[in-house]
């Protein structure tokens, strides 16, 4: 799975979780950039990503992840 495929899948997930078809994500996208991204939605987001990519984030990864770029890196590294 390449980076573009991960971003395409994540875009669908973000739009679904935040119920906003206009969301466009990039490496630097963070909770500060999406109005409804609170702690509850963060849990929903992590769960949806884990389900989509058939992987599990560690607690450390979840708590230290700063932006979508870091999420993508973790996903790609998990899939290799």
pTM for this predicted structure: 0.93
Query: Over the range 13-37, which residues count as b (16 or more CB within 10 Å of their CB) and which as e?
Result: bbeebbeeeebebeeebebeebeeb
* The pLDDT of residue 79: 75
Q: What CATH number does the domain located at 3-79 have?
A: 1.10.1200.10
Q: How confident is the model at residue 6 (pLDDT cuts 50, 70, 90)?
A: very high
Residue 80 pLDDT > 80: no
- pLDDT (tens digit per residue) in 12-60: 999 999 999 999 999 999 999 999 999 999 999 999 999 999 999 999 9
**C-beta contacts of 30-39 below 8 A and 24+ residues apart:** 30/66, 30/67, 30/68
Domains of the chain by residue range: 3-79
**Mean pLDDT of all residues in 59-78:** 95
The conformational region for residue 54 under phi > 0 = left, psi -120 to 50 = alpha, else beta, is left
């Amino acid at each position: 799975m390449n980076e573009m495929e991960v971003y395409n899948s994540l875009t669908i997930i973000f739009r679904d979780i935040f119920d906003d078809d206009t969301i466009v994500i990039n490496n630097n996208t963070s909770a500060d950039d999406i109005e409804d991204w609170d702690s509850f939605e963060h849990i929903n987001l992590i769960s949806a990503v884990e389900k989509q990519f058939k992987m599990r984030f560690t607690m450390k990864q979840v708590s230290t992840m700063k932006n979508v770029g870091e999420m993508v890196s973790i996903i790609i590294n998990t899939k290799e």
